[in-house]
Amino acid sequence: MKQVPNIISTKDLSYLEDMFNWHFTLCKKAYMYKEEVENENISKFINEVHKKHKKICEKILTILGGTE
Protein backbone atom coordinates (compact mmCIF):
# COMPACT_ATOMS: atom_id res chain seq x y z
CA MET A 1 0.00 0.00 0.00
CA LYS A 2 1.31 3.42 -0.90
CA GLN A 3 1.81 5.93 1.88
CA VAL A 4 0.06 9.30 1.68
CA PRO A 5 2.55 12.16 1.29
CA ASN A 6 2.95 14.53 4.21
CA ILE A 7 1.90 17.62 2.23
CA ILE A 8 -1.22 19.69 1.74
CA SER A 9 -2.25 20.47 -1.83
CA THR A 10 -3.21 23.97 -2.88
CA LYS A 11 -6.83 22.88 -3.18
CA ASP A 12 -6.79 21.32 0.31
CA LEU A 13 -5.19 24.44 1.75
CA SER A 14 -7.86 26.60 0.16
CA TYR A 15 -10.59 24.41 1.61
CA LEU A 16 -8.99 24.48 5.08
CA GLU A 17 -8.70 28.25 4.83
CA ASP A 18 -12.41 28.53 3.98
CA MET A 19 -13.36 26.20 6.83
CA PHE A 20 -11.23 28.17 9.27
CA ASN A 21 -12.77 31.47 8.15
CA TRP A 22 -16.33 30.13 8.53
CA HIS A 23 -15.71 28.83 12.02
CA PHE A 24 -13.65 31.82 13.12
CA THR A 25 -16.41 34.20 12.03
CA LEU A 26 -19.02 32.15 13.91
CA CYS A 27 -16.73 32.02 16.95
CA LYS A 28 -16.34 35.82 16.99
CA LYS A 29 -20.06 36.42 16.49
CA ALA A 30 -21.05 33.99 19.23
CA TYR A 31 -18.56 35.63 21.61
CA MET A 32 -20.04 39.04 20.83
CA TYR A 33 -23.68 37.91 21.09
CA LYS A 34 -23.28 36.06 24.39
CA GLU A 35 -22.42 39.40 26.01
CA GLU A 36 -25.50 41.07 24.51
CA VAL A 37 -28.12 38.48 25.52
CA GLU A 38 -29.93 39.00 28.81
CA ASN A 39 -31.45 35.52 29.09
CA GLU A 40 -29.00 33.31 31.00
CA ASN A 41 -30.03 30.07 29.23
CA ILE A 42 -29.56 31.60 25.81
CA SER A 43 -26.24 33.09 26.90
CA LYS A 44 -25.06 29.65 28.06
CA PHE A 45 -26.14 28.10 24.75
CA ILE A 46 -24.32 30.78 22.75
CA ASN A 47 -21.24 30.23 24.93
CA GLU A 48 -21.30 26.52 24.02
CA VAL A 49 -21.56 27.46 20.34
CA HIS A 50 -18.53 29.73 20.82
CA LYS A 51 -16.54 26.94 22.49
CA LYS A 52 -17.35 24.41 19.74
CA HIS A 53 -16.33 26.72 16.92
CA LYS A 54 -13.18 27.77 18.80
CA LYS A 55 -12.22 24.11 19.21
CA ILE A 56 -12.71 23.50 15.47
CA CYS A 57 -10.51 26.53 14.67
CA GLU A 58 -7.81 25.18 16.97
CA LYS A 59 -8.02 21.78 15.29
CA ILE A 60 -7.63 23.32 11.83
CA LEU A 61 -4.62 25.30 13.04
CA THR A 62 -3.14 22.08 14.44
CA ILE A 63 -3.56 20.40 11.05
CA LEU A 64 -1.90 23.32 9.29
CA GLY A 65 0.89 23.41 11.85
CA GLY A 66 1.63 19.73 11.28
CA THR A 67 1.52 18.86 14.98
CA GLU A 68 -1.53 16.62 14.79
Structural domains of the chain, count? 1
In a domain, 5, yes or no: no
- Tell how far CA 22 is from the center of its chain: 7
Residue 1 clears pLDDT 60, i.e. is over it:
no
Average pLDDT over residues 25-52: 94
Residue 35 clears pLDDT 60, i.e. is over it:
yes
Residue 5 clears pLDDT 80, i.e. is over it:
no
- The 3-state DSSP class for residue 28 equals helix
Residue 4 clears pLDDT 80, i.e. is over it:
no
For 4-49, the DSSP string reads PPS---HHHHHHHHHHHHHHHHHHHHHHHHHHH---HHHHHHHHHH
Average pLDDT over residues 5-23: 89
In a domain, 2, yes or no: no
In a domain, 27, yes or no: yes
In a domain, 48, yes or no: yes
In a domain, 25, yes or no: yes
φ/ψ bin of 28: left (φ > 0), alpha (ψ from -120 to 50), beta (otherwise): alpha
In a domain, 37, yes or no: yes
pLDDT at 66 (0 to 100):
61
In a domain, 3, yes or no: no
In a domain, 1, yes or no: no
Domain ranges, residue 26: 11-65
Residue 67 clears pLDDT 80, i.e. is over it:
no
